A and B are shown apart, each in its own frame.
Chain A
Amino acid sequence: MATLDIYLLEALINGVLLGGVLALLSLGLNLIFGVIDVVWICYAELIMLGMYAMYFLYVVYHVPIGVAAVICIVAVGVLGVLLHLLVIAPLLGAAPINQLLATGGVLFFLQSAATVLFGIEFKNLGLRLPVLKLSEMFISYSRLLAFAAALVGMVLVYLLLTRTYTGTAIRAIAQDRQIMTLMGVDSRRIYVITSALGGGLAGLAACLLVLQYDVHPFVGLSFGPITFLICVLGGLGNFVGGFAAAFVFAEIIALGGLYLDLEWGYVFAFVFFIVMMFARPEGLMARRS
């Protein structure tokens, strides 16, 4: 009995840590969602490119890992701006679904560009962080790191949004995009800043994911869909909701994985998502109006 409980506890703790990773993943996407009202279907592919950047900088060019992480974050941020200027900006006036489909095209493009450039071999940093052993439980140090980074990232984004002039403008645009331009806010500039920020967060996620997972061109498909679902479940653009949703999802996956199979964990998470969409279409933490 005691051993079973320790497995359960381990699964729960790993669920919380996985939740941290998922929360970090959804943070940038949520920002884009909330402010520009666009779904970046290719968000996970930006992370994939970030992971490749880390791999090449650290393994091939022997850049110190801290510097590599900074370069990676900046580079993915620039990618985010490029994505916005080249694909999203011309489509801002079109139906939302067209924007979604166009970023779907970018998804195909980035995936196959990675296949062509880097090949389909799995690559990793060859860096193994120690595993924390707490009495009988094993907790991955890299997950702990990702969890901490997600918390720090969220606090930083929160401070940026509430304490700075640009942040205030971003929140205002998210509330009413027509009126803000009349108030003298350059909405195009705000969109570019937001895209850079969203891309930068994807870069941060990439730095942490590359510590745990091998990178290959299709790695985005393994965590992309779940990231969207978390954002929608949390309520688009609602950071606290997204954070809560990430942990709920992670616990469902962890517990499903403990009792049945990892795939069933995902199935339960998806079913839970669909049911919740009907119960609370505005998201978990939506205020009742």
Chain B
Amino acid sequence: MTRPLGWIAGVALVALPFVYTAAYPLHILIIILIWSFAYTSWSMMGRFGLVSLGHGGFMGVGAYVTALLWNHQAVTPWIGIPIALLAAALLAVLVAYPCFRFRIIGHYFALVTLALSGIVLQVITATRDQTGGSLGYTPERYQGASSLYALQFGTKTTWYLIALAIWGAGICVWYRVDRSMLRYALEAISEDEDGAAAAGVHVTAEKLKITVLSAMMTALAGALYCQYQMFISPDTVSGISISLQMVFAVVVGGIYVSLGPTVGAVITILLAEVLRISFGTRAVGWDNLVYGVLLVLFIVFLPKGILGSLLDVWRRSRGRAALST
């Protein structure tokens, strides 16, 4: 039953920008898709208890490496983005390998990765001659408004389709991992590392795989954000508050379900936009105020998130229906 429903939803999503072309809602949708992809990337490892507060760092690497290569070396994003992804992967290995090797887990792991996002933020700020520091950075426009070579497009429709494709790919990767041995290994590890190791799971290698995958996807989200917005600053793509924002959105949406991070992105971005439109500048701070309260309430009362809890209720009622027939 869910399969044709999925196809219909997919077709509707692809057809949307051709039917509905208003610029502002499309912009919001693109932003939602890009962040959904970033949050999904985070949840890839977050769902196995590997809570990283360093993903702001990976996102920053993705965005800044791509933009810097383009501006300073005239390297097309087609090559720049893979280099950025490799850089993020390298950074992930550099920090995560010793972490896993020396069994730094739980909130120690969170704090080490917190230091990582601090490092990336400070490096961007410190190299202000190259990166523009905290004032932000803009990739240079290439000739006309749109260019495939420079990955710069003038129309929102193109960006919508690109963001949709990448988001869809992210969900596919999520399902691939969900159905792989990697998932079982990582679930065993998150339950009991010693037990998993005794059962023949290579703990360090499995954890490293998912971390590198997650870091590269996050870097891709950063590069995508940079190419779309054509403006990046340490506060919007890097640093500790972005890392916390990722964790928060995923927890609210639902950390253990594929579309949970997407639901989280929809809720948080719409909340911020609605408050901004209806209250204007008086709303400064209110969105985070609501976020903060929600986050605490969710962790205390609904640790599975909105979508996760809804699915639970749905499954339970279906189970009851199946029993009664």
- Stretch in A111-119, A154-162, A171-179, A183-191 with 4+ CB within 8 Å of B: A111-119
Residues in A with CB closer than 8 Å to B112 are 232, 273-274, 277
Minimum Cβ distance to chain A for residue B237 (Å): 16
CB distance from A120 to the nearest CB of B (A): 7
Contacts of B296 in A (CB 8 A): 87, 102, 105-106, 109
Interface membership of A219, Cβ < 8 A: no
Q: B300 — nearest CB in chain A belongs to which residue?
A: A90
Chain B residues contacting A102 (CB-CB under 8 Å) are 295-296, 299-300
A108 to B292, CA, bound (A): 5
Digitize B172-190: 1 where CB-to-A-CB distance is under 8 Å, 0 elsewhere: 0000000000000000000
Residue of A nearest to B126 (CB): A263
A113 to B103, CA, bound (A): 38
Most buried by B among A90, A101, A261: A101
Give the CA-CA distance A108 to B241 in the complex, in Å: 9
The answer, yes or no, to whether A270 is at the interface (CB within 8 Å) is yes
CA distance A277 to B108 in the complex (A): 9
Q: Which of B49, B241, B294 contacts A97 (CB 8 A)?
A: B49
B292 touches A91 (CB 8 A): no
A109 to B296, CA, bound (A): 9
Q: Give Cα distance in the complex from A221 to B126, angstroms.
A: 17
Any B CB within 8 A of the CB of A107: yes
User: What A residues does B98 contact at CB under 8 A?
Assistant: 277-278
Does B138 make an interface contact (CB < 8 A)?
no
Give every chain A residue within 8 A of B295 (Cβ-Cβ). 101-102, 104-105, 108
Query: For the complex, is B44 an interface residue (Cβ under 8 Å from A)?
Result: no
Within the complex, the shortest CB–CB distance from A174 to chain B, in Å, comes to 16
Q: Is A15 an interface residue (CB 8 A)?
A: no
A39 vs chain B, min Cβ distance (A): 5
Bound together, the chains give a CA A98 to CA B289 distance in angstroms of 19
Cα A217 to Cα B288 in complex, Å, equals 12
Q: Is the CB of A261 within 8 A of B126?
A: yes
Q: Is the pair A273, B248 in contact by a Cβ cutoff of 8 Å?
A: no
A1 to B284, CA, bound (A): 52
Set of chain B residues within 8 Å of A261, measured between Cβ atoms = 126
CB distance from B233 to the nearest CB of A (A): 15
Q: List, in ascending order, chain A residues with CB within 8 A of B51's CB.
A: 97, 100-101
Residues of B near A105 (CB, < 8 A) are 248, 291-296, 298-299
Which of these binds chain A: B64-72, B75-83, B116-124, B309-317? B116-124
Is the CB of B18 closer than 8 A to any CB of chain A?
no
CA–CA, A110 to B114, complex, Å? 20
Which A residues from 275 to 289 make CB contacts under 8 A with B? Answer: 277-278, 281
A112–B286 touching, CB < 8 Å: yes
Q: Which of A112, A266, A278 contacts B287 (CB 8 A)?
A: A112
Q: Is the interface of B mostly helix, strand, loop or mixed?
A: helix
Q: Is the CB of A113 within 8 A of B115?
A: no
* Known A108-B295, A263-B125, A271-B119; contact A101-B111, beta-carbon cutoff 8 A: no
In angstroms, Cα B300 to Cα A108, docked, is 16
Decide if B45 is an interface residue (CB 8 Å cutoff).
Answer: no
Given A98-B299, A101-B247, A105-B293, residue A229 in contact with residue B285 (CB < 8 A): no
Known contacts: A97-B51, A116-B286. The answer to whether A106 contacts B292 by CB under 8 A is: yes
Q: How many residues of B contact A (CB 8 A)?
A: 45
B102 interface residue per 8 A CB criterion: yes
Q: How far is the CA of A231 from the CA of B219 in the complex (A)?
A: 30
- Determine whether B244 belongs to the interface, using a CB cutoff of 8 Å to chain A: yes
In angstroms, Cα B98 to Cα A225, docked, is 21
Closest to A108 in B: B292
- A225 is contacted by which of B104, B115, B300 (Cβ under 8 Å)? B115
A113 to B108, CA, bound (A): 29
- Among A90, A112, A226, A232, contact of B288 (Cβ-Cβ < 8 Å): A112
Complex Cα distance, B294 from A74, in Å, reads 28
B136 within 8 A of A: no
A247 at the interface (CB under 8 A from B): no
B294 — which chain A residues lie within 8 A by C-beta?
Answer: 105
With contact pairs A225-B240, A264-B126, A267-B126 given, residues A108 and B110 touching in the complex (Cβ less than 8 Å): no
Min C-beta distance of B183 to chain A, whole Å: 19
Give every chain B residue within 8 A of A101 (Cβ-Cβ): 51, 247-248, 251, 295, 299
B303 touches A (CB below 8 Å): yes
B95 and A112: CB pair below 8 A? Answer: no
With A116-B286, A217-B285 known to touch, is A108 a contact of B291 (CB < 8 Å)? yes
B116 touches A97 (CB 8 A): no
- Cβ–Cβ < 8 Å partners of B240 in chain A: 221, 225
- The chain A residues found within 8 Å of chain B, CB to CB, are 39, 87, 90-91, 94-98, 100-102, 104-116, 120, 217, 221, 225-226, 228-229, 232, 260-261, 263-264, 266-267, 270-271, 273-274, 277-278, 281
Q: List 8 A-B contacts (CB under 8 A).
A: A90-B300, A91-B300, A101-B51, A101-B247, A108-B291, A229-B111, A229-B118, A267-B126
Minimum-distance CB pairs A-B, first 7: A109-B292, A105-B295, A115-B285, A263-B126, A108-B292, A112-B288, A112-B285
Taking Cβ atoms with an 8 Å cutoff, the residues of B that contact A are: 49, 51, 95, 98-99, 102-104, 106-108, 110-112, 114-116, 118-119, 122-123, 125-126, 240-241, 244, 247-248, 251, 284-289, 291-296, 298-300, 303
